Amino acid sequence: MTTAPLPPVPPTPPTVSDSAATVSPEASPAASHAPSPAVPSRRLAVVADQTPCRPVPAGCNSSSPSADVPGEASRARKTAATKAGADIRGEVLLTLAQLRLATPRQLKALLLPHQQDTDHVRRALRNLLDESPALVGRTHRVQQSYWYCTPAGLTEAAASGELAPKAGRTTGKRIAASKTGLREHGLALVDTVVAFHQAEVADCADWQVEVAHPTPAGNLVPDGVVLLNNGSCAFVEIDRTMSYARLVAKLERYDAYRNAPPSGRGNAARAPRSHWQETYAGPSLDRSFLPVLFVFAPAPRRAAPATREAAFHQRAQHVHGVNYRIIVATTTLGQLTKHGPDEPVWRVAGRGEGEERRSLDALPKAR
DNA sequence: CCTCAGTCAGAAGTCATCAA
DNA sequence: TTGATGACTTCTGACTGAGG
């Protein structure tokens, strides 16, 4: 089915002891963000909270106070570039661990948006691949390579402490997924992450991929959960090939999650709370249920995303808005990447909104 | 002196376009 | 329809410079 040739066998998953050899106890302390001068340069530097896209305008030669002296300016630029390159290695690993897989271009867009080409990212990927055991793996497809995090890389990333607790469980299944048709789904998700990142609506580090949420009807596993810069969260679903019936069924699963009875006991000071309230509503329960954002991405032999989006709204109209108490908004990946999530690209399902589109901030609140 | 990162050039593969 | 061509992207190797 897939026209891509089978990729070479990925690096043999390392044993735990192998990974432990890479992540020595003194190498792991991610808690200290400032790298100690005593740390050997060979060690992987995981510097996750270095702002990947600093608000420095591209081509900012005039902003540097020493830019007037050609030699000094060039040296300063060089030093800065070197530092960024050293840090980018850890960020690449963390990003791959978090997002499952990505292309060099996607990684560049997330981590080095001011860079013109993907050389730095590919250099970092090459270094991570050369580690023993390899921390990342690669599969090839036409004019593109896809990189993923190996178990050893995930161990390294997790040891840094910068990885969200449930993010990036790169099991063998996930690695296999990165080499099949599912990789297109994963790449569409990363494109979505890039769009949110570039619009400064959410940082790429604020995404969690495929986190299980318990519902009475079984686990709900959104493609992504994003913490937005305004402090709220949203579920994100990528659709490429799912049938409309399954999409509507997914809505029902979200509704079940929303209406799940409180788990655990409350006490005199605090009423019992359901899972979503415990996880997302904040201490004072002042936040409404998270909006569910559907992104329709292109897929071969399928109707165009806009067509599928329109059909989805027709189906959802009959059930959504009447019975459900969740906000569902849709867009296409094309619109998202072209305009950004902060522009009026979201169409609210159900509620008789017609085809009007709203920005993310203007979405109605769930009841 | 050694290691590592940045940079560059060249090769390879694929896709899109255009003319025969 | 087919072949040629250019554009695009990635990979690899080599060189250079900085820092320990």
Model confidence pLDDT, tens digit, residues A78-131: 333 333 455 677 778 888 888 878 888 888 888 877 776 777 787 778 777 777
Q: Which nucleotide is nearest to A71 (CA to C1')?
A: C17
CA distance A252 to A256: 6
Q: What percent of chain A has pLDDT over 70?
A: 60
Band of residue A57 on the pLDDT scale cut at 50, 70, 90: very low
pLDDT tens-digit map of A211-252: 888 888 788 888 889 999 888 889 999 888 777 888 888 888
- Indicate whether A265 pLDDT > 70: no
Where does residue A211 fall: left (phi above 0), alpha (psi -120 to 50 degrees), or beta otherwise?
A: beta
Band of residue A367 on the pLDDT scale cut at 50, 70, 90: low
Residue nearest to nucleotide B12 (CA to C1'): A143
The better pLDDT of the pair A192, A27 is held by: A192
pLDDT tens-digit map of A308-343: 888 888 877 766 544 567 888 999 988 888 888 999
Q: What are phi and psi of A153, to 5 degrees?
A: -65, -40
The confidence score (pLDDT) of residue A344 equals 92
Residue nearest to nucleotide C18 (CA to C1'): A79
* Tokens linked to A6: 């089978």
The confidence score (pLDDT) of residue A226 equals 92
Chain B positions within 7 A of any protein Cβ atom are 3-8, 13-15
**Which residues in 50-109 of chain A line strand C, with CB less than 7 A from it?**
75, 78-79, 82, 103-105
- Indicate whether A197 pLDDT > 60: yes
Tell me the CA–C1' distance in angstroms for A31 and C12: 36
State the maximum Cα–Cα separation within chain A, in Å, rounded to a whole number.
69
Tell me the CA–C1' distance in angstroms for A177 and C8: 27
Tell me the CA–C1' distance in angstroms for A259 and C20: 59
Band of residue A267 on the pLDDT scale cut at 50, 70, 90: low
CA distance A39 to A319: 59
Average pLDDT over residues A55-71: 32
Tell me the CA–C1' distance in angstroms for A123 and C13: 13
The better pLDDT of the pair A33, A230 is held by: A230
The confidence score (pLDDT) of residue A331 equals 92
Strands A218-220 and A207-209: unpaired
The confidence score (pLDDT) of residue A137 equals 78
Packing angle between helix A305-319 and helix A244-259, nearest 10 degrees? 50
Q: What are phi and psi of A219, to 5 degrees?
A: -70, 140
Tell me the CA–C1' distance in angstroms for A29 and C18: 26
Tell me which amino acid residue A315 is. Answer: R
* Tokens linked to A226: 């994003």
**Which residues in 109-168 of chain A line strand C, with CB less than 7 A from it?**
117-118, 122, 125-126, 138, 140, 143-145
Residue nearest to nucleotide B8 (CA to C1'): A119
The confidence score (pLDDT) of residue A80 equals 35
The confidence score (pLDDT) of residue A106 equals 83
The confidence score (pLDDT) of residue A188 equals 85
E strands, A12-102, in order: 101-102
Chain mean pLDDT for chain A:
68
The confidence score (pLDDT) of residue A74 equals 34
A193-208 exposure pattern, b = at least 16 Cβ within 10 A, e = fewer = bbbbbbbebbbbbbbb
CA distance A177 to A185: 9
| DSSP H or E segment with residue A285 | none
Please name every residue paired with A137 in a beta bridge, in sequence order, or none if there are none.
Answer: A148
Q: Which nucleotide is nearest to A78 (CA to C1')?
A: B6
Q: Which nucleotide is nearest to A3 (CA to C1')?
A: B14
pTM: 0.72
Average pLDDT over residues A167-171: 42
Residue ranges and CATH numbers for the domains of chain A are 82-177 (1.10.10.10), 180-261+274-367 (3.40.1350)
From the CA atom positions of chain A, what is the Rg in Å?
Answer: 22
E strands, A176-325, in order: 207-209, 213-215, 218-220, 224-227, 233-239, 292-296
- Find residues whose C-beta atom lies within 7 angstroms of strand B: A 41-42, 78, 81-82, 84-86, 88-89, 119-120, 123-124, 127, 142-143
